[in-house]
Structures are given as structure tokens and as C-alpha cells.
Structure 1
Amino acid sequence: MLLSYVNTQLRDFYRSLDAFCEDRGLNRKDLEDKLDMIDYAYDPAVNQFV
């Protein structure tokens, strides 16, 4: 669920993961660590977790 939400937000509203995290008041490393637990990593070339 988190993965889907984050990728949708990145695709539709944000130019980068940093912009998303700043706007939402999230710690980027914490978010990346959480999604890494299910083997997803942020790819800035496509602005998505893949």
C-alpha cells in the first residue's frame, strides 16, 4: 500500500523524492529504508521506487 501511494504521489505531483518528503514532512532515509525492506529502491531517472 505504501509503495503504491508513494509512487502515485511521485508520478502525479512531485518532481523528486526530496520534494515529496519535504512537502509531507517525512524523513527520506526512513522512507527508503522501509521500502527497501520489500526490495524497492528509489530510481531518480524515473522518479519512482522500482
Structure 2
Amino acid sequence: MDREVLLKMDPNILVSMINMKLRDFYSNLDSYCDDMDISRDLIEEKLKSAGYTYHSDINQFK
């Protein structure tokens, strides 16, 4: 996913997509970000603006 697509994506759709990927394929957010070659900070900032925070203990944004 490229940076421009991420920045334009609706945060509610984005959180759903990322949580599904975290649940099904990745043990943590860093692994997802490394594999997708995208900044963790960028994802967290985008989702924080919509009220979502990453919880490492459950490996998802809420």
C-alpha cells in the first residue's frame, strides 16, 4: 500500500483492513509495516485522528 493511498483511505475501512491482516497474517504491527513497507508512525497517526489506538496485547486497533 502506498503512502498516498493510505492517506486518502477512509480510516474506518483502513482499520478494518489492518485489523484483519493483523489477525490472520501478522503477530504484531511492526511485522505488518515491514512487510508492507509502510511507516508505522504514518498508520498510527492516520488511525489516531479517527480515535483508534494500537493495542499490542490484543494485536489490533480499537
Under a length normalisation based on structure 2, what TM-score does the superposition of the two structures give? 0.79
1:21, distance to aligned residue in structure 2 (A): 0.2
Runs of 4+ in 1 over 2 A off after TM superposition: none
**Which secondary structure state, in structure 2, belongs to the residue aligned with residue 23 of structure 1?**
helix
Aligned length: 50
| The structure with more radius of gyration | 2
CA distance in structure 1 between the aligned counterparts of 2:34 and 2:22, rounded to whole angstroms: 12
Under a length normalisation based on structure 1, what TM-score does the superposition of the two structures give? 0.98
Percent identity over paired residues: 42
Extract unaligned runs of 5+ from structure 1.
none
